[in-house]
Amino acid sequence: FLQGRHLVRQGSRESMLRAIEVFEQALAIDPNYAPAWNGIGTAYTNLAGSNAIPQAEGYATAKEMAEKALSVDPESAQSYVGLGWLARVDGDYETAARHIEQALKLAPNDDKVLNAAAVLLGDLLRPEEDLRIQKLLVERDPVNPSAYHNMGVVFYSLGNMDAAVASFDKALTLSPDMILAGWWRAYLHCVQKEYQTCLDAYASVAELAGNEAARLLGEAIALHGMGREEDSASALATLESDHFETF
């Protein structure tokens, strides 16, 4: 289980797929081990959120895993976190808040529970409170790349570009193939008008994720910034014709 959790935190496509295998091995030993069911759910949630697998498929599987974990352990805080996160993805913040509130009652000091609560605070336009918790989580676990990624997202929402870049760079130093941090860093290169670097970064992370649609999207953004309007429009046209349902 600990090996699987470490692999999920690395955030690469390969590490998350390997984590699923490891959690399945744990379940072969004990089918009623709720943390392993939740671990599989987290891996599928992250794969879907990274555009490394089809989102509908990934999120549906993640929900199934969280519900299975609850069936074997009705007091599994991680299961409520998973269900809350999925409700948030659907835009159902009332349900998300209800699940995360339950998770906080069960495990008020758990890092994953606190992160879920922090992200929800950000969604509810309370980013300063979100950032306070994210900084605490980085202090608690300074070698966790996911913690730096999460903090970077909040810094970006607050308009602190330098801190956001530093946070994503730290996440990628700890886990060079982390897809979510890679997407963000590629995008921020474009925001900073580093268009060629942006173009290269999108291509690199798209290869890691196995996602041609995301590469085309990044290409369209970067080429537009370079003033290459026809090439940008061509990338968008290909994206629309070949990958209409991806996003």
**Residue-level pLDDT, tens digit, the chain, 247 residues:** 889 999 999 999 999 999 999 999 999 999 999 999 999 999 999 999 998 999 999 999 999 999 999 999 999 999 999 999 999 999 999 999 999 999 999 999 999 999 999 999 999 999 999 999 999 999 999 999 999 999 999 999 999 999 999 999 999 999 999 999 999 999 999 999 999 999 999 999 999 999 888 899 999 999 999 999 999 999 999 998 887 665 5
HEC-encoded secondary structure of the chain: CHHHHHHHHHCCHHHHHHHHHHHHHHHHHCCCCHHHHHHHHHHHHHHHHCCCCCHHHHHHHHHHHHHHHHHHCCCCHHHHHHHHHHHHHCCCHHHHHHHHHHHHHHCCCCHHHHHHHHHHHHHCCCHHHHHHHHHHHHHHCCCCHHHHHHHHHHHHHCCCHHHHHHHHHHHHHHCCCCHHHHHHHHHHHHHCCCHHHHHHHHHHHHHHHCCHHHHHHHHHHHHHHCCCHHHHHHHHHHHHHHCCCCC
* Residue whose token pair is 């995008």: 187
223: tokens are: 């080429």
4 close to 36: Cβ distance less than 8 angstroms: yes
What does pTM read for this prediction? 0.90
Question: Dihedral (C-alpha) 96, 101, 106, 111: value to the nearest 10 degrees?
Answer: 70
Angle, in degrees to the nearest 10, between helices 195-209 and 212-225:
180
What single-letter amino acid sits at 86?
A: L
Compute the C-alpha angle 156/175/110, nearest 5°. Answer: 70
Confidence (pLDDT) at 102 = 97
Confidence (pLDDT) at 246 = 58
98 close to 62: Cβ distance less than 8 angstroms: no
156: tokens are: 């970006």
Q: Phi, psi at residue 141, to the nearest 5°?
A: -140, 80
